[in-house]
Amino acid sequence: MTADSRNPAEKSMNQNDMEENAIVAALLSGIEGGLELVRTIGKGSLGTVYECADKNGTPLAVKLMQGSPMIEPDTFENIITAALKTRSISETTRVVKVISAGKIENFYYILMELFKGGTLEAVLAKNNLSIKDKVRIGAEIAKTLADIHSKGIVHNDLKPSNVLLDKDNVPYLNDFYLFVSRPSKPFSGMPQGTPYYMSPEQASGQIPAVTNDSYSFGVLLYELLTNSMPYREHPRNITEMIHVVTEGKIVRPSKKNSAINAKIEAIILKLLSRDLETRYRDMNVVASDLLASISGKQISIPYRKSMLSKVFTFFGSN
Ligand SMILES: Nc1ncnc2c1ncn2[C@@H]1O[C@H](COP(=O)(O)OP(=O)(O)OP(=O)(O)O)[C@@H](O)[C@H]1O
Ligand SMILES: [Mg+2]
């Protein structure tokens, strides 16, 4: 196709892309001795993530966030501080490694290792893994959450796009930007996090705790296994969403996917419990219950036995 045969919208779109790429390439040349832009990976709520290469040709990912009068400068400063803090745990836990983070011109950046395996969001979109493989990935995520919790850290923004997979489908946690180390005070102002994955208490602005992550993990696991969200209602805005998270009715996951067994269902419902006394706190227990649920072993919590398994139990075969 010649340039002139394109329609005006397409032409201006390409021109915008070219202009954006030129700005990004210029910014990247000023980071870490000069980075080279390779491609755009994706856009998020606060910025865009690009694949790039450092001066030795090592492939990396960089997130660029543009300062704007609409967003308080504190927001970005806190994100950069939190990203740099995760470097102390990324050697020993499955957390995406941050190489450097800072400000260049009017942009904030986070330079990190590149994950070519994509995100859990892409796994959801392809939907080509078995229930067992999905539960195994879930157990790995639960184990990593247990590791960060044991270091006094709460992630607070767990969702599929913040879980990256390596080439063997091993999950790594990303975007610890709302993370709270040894939480002590409630959030101020608007609840922070991603509405659909926010726990009821996070949505109502209470003190962040490890149980936030258990709940968000419950939503993520529900979505991974059913390709849908837990609530019957379909909220149209944040206010409705907060109402649904605090009052809505959860549909049993096995109603959406009959391959979900009673043990997995019990684990998900306990993760999503609104009652903090009932919800799992120890993500190590969640990880071992998940693995037990797919290998015919006992889990640590009660679950509804099917008629068939009751018959087997009666005849002593389980
Ligand atoms: N290190 C990385 N390697 C590969 N892909 C990445 C990396 N970091 C982020 N991504 C991907 O880039 C895309 C944009 O990420 P970004 O974090 O900006 O947005 P998001 O996670 O969708 O939403 P939010 O802004 O709420 O975090 C997502 O698909 C994300 O998974
Ligand atoms: Mg993200």
Q: Write the CATH number for 78.
A: 3.30.200.20
- 176 falls within a domain: yes
pLDDT at 14: 79
Compute the average pLDDT of residues 211-240: 91
Contact 229, 223 (CB under 8 A): yes
Residue 284 falls within a domain, yes or no? yes
Residue 151, Cα to own-chain centre: how many angstroms? 19
Residue 273 lies in a domain: yes
**Ligand 1 pocket, mutate which of 39, 41, 98, 115 (most atoms under 8 A from CB):** 41
Q: Does 2 have pLDDT greater than 50?
A: no
Bigger pLDDT: 73 vs 123:
123
172 pLDDT above the threshold of 80: yes
Is 263 part of a structural domain of the chain?
A: yes
CA of 256 to the centre of ligand 2 (A): 27
Contacts of 32 (CB under 8 A, 6+ apart): 54, 55, 99, 100, 111
Q: Give the confidence band of 55 by pLDDT, cuts at 50, 70, 90.
A: very high
Are 54 and 38 in contact, with CB atoms under 8 Å apart? no
Report the CATH number that the domain containing residue 202 is assigned in CATH.
1.10.510.10
Q: What is the pLDDT of residue 195?
A: 73
The total domain count for the chain is: 2
Q: How confident is the model at residue 148 (pLDDT cuts 50, 70, 90)?
A: very high
Q: Above 80 in pLDDT, residue 11? A: no
- pLDDT at 239 > cutoff 50: yes
pLDDT of residue 241: 83
Q: Give the residue from 113, 131, 147 where a domain finishes.
A: 113
23: pLDDT confidence band, cut at 50, 70 and 90?
Answer: very high
- What is the pLDDT averaged over residues 86-92? 89
Whether residues 147 and 44 share a domain: the answer is: no
From ligand 2's centre to the CA of 220, what distance in Å? Answer: 14
Is residue 278's pLDDT more than 50?
Answer: yes
- Tell me whether residue 6 is in a domain: no
105 and 168 belong to one structural domain: no
Is the predicted pLDDT of residue 312 greater than 60, yes or no?
no
Mean pLDDT of 186-202: 67
- The rounded percent of the chain whose pLDDT value lies above 90 is 58
Are both 293 and 195 inside the same structural domain?
yes
4 — pLDDT class (breaks 50, 70, 90): very low
Q: Choose between 208 and 44: higher pLDDT.
A: 44
The predicted pLDDT at position 310 comes to 56
For residue 6, pLDDT over 90 is answered with no
79 and 180 inside one domain? no
For a pocket test of ligand 1, which of 90, 99, 161 has the largest count of ligand atoms closer than 8 A to its C-beta?
161
Report the distance separating Cα 250 and Cα 272, nearest Å.
9
Residue where the block lists tokens 């649920």: 293
Whether residues 154 and 108 share a domain: the answer is no
What integer pLDDT is reported at residue 187 of this predicted model? 45
Determine the structural domain holding residue 157 and report its residue range: 120-313
Confidence of residue 193 (pLDDT cuts 50, 70, 90): low
- What is the C-alpha separation between 13 and 24, in angstroms, rounded? 16
- Choosing from 79, 113, 147, the residue where a domain stops is 113
**Residue 156 contacts residue 193 (beta carbons within 8 Å):** yes
Domain match, 127 and 262 both: yes
For residue 9, report the distance from its CA to the centre of ligand 1, in Å.
27
Question: Is 164 found in the same domain as 36?
Answer: no
Q: For residue 128, what pLDDT band results from cuts at 50, 70 and 90?
A: confident
Flag whether 177 is in a domain: yes
Q: Let me know whether 129 and 109 are in one domain.
A: no
For residue 220, with 0-12 CB atoms within 10 Å meaning exposed, 13-18 middle and 19 or more buried, which class applies? buried
Confidence of residue 225 (pLDDT cuts 50, 70, 90): very high
Instruction: Among 122-136, 227-241, 259-273, name the most confident range.
Output: 259-273
Whether 72 and 173 share a structural domain:
no
Q: Is the CB of 174 under 6 A from ligand 1?
A: yes
Q: Give the pLDDT mean for 213-223.
A: 96
- The answer on pLDDT for 44 being more than 70 is yes
Are 160 and 107 part of one and the same domain?
no
Long-range CB pairs of 119-124 (<8 Å, 24+ gap) are 119/160, 119/161, 119/162, 119/163, 119/164, 119/165, 120/160, 120/161, 120/163, 120/164, 120/165, 120/171, 120/220, 120/224, 121/160, 121/161, 123/160, 123/165, 123/169, 123/224, 124/160, 124/223, 124/224, 124/227
- 178 — pLDDT class (breaks 50, 70, 90): low
Does 13 fall in a domain? no
pLDDT surpasses 60 at 185: no
Q: Does 189 map to a domain?
A: yes
Whether residue 313 is predicted with pLDDT greater than 70 in this model: the reply is no
Residue 51 pairs in a beta bridge with 39, 61
Of the candidates 96, 113, 130, which is a domain's last residue?
A: 113
Query: Do 104 and 124 fall into the same domain?
Result: no
Task: Determine the atom of ligand 1 nearest the C-alpha atom of 48.
Answer: 18
Cα 159 to ligand 1 centre (Å): 11
Range scoring the smallest mean pLDDT among 52-61, 107-116, 178-187, 250-259: 178-187
Q: Nearest residue CA, atom 24 of ligand 1?
A: 44
Say yes or no: CB of residue 172 within 6 Å of ligand 1. no
By percentage, how much of the chain surpasses pLDDT 70?
86
Question: Which residues crowd ion ligand 2, with CB under 5 Å?
Answer: 44, 162, 175
Together in a domain, 105 and 175:
no
Measured from the Cα of 116, ligand 1's closest atom is 4
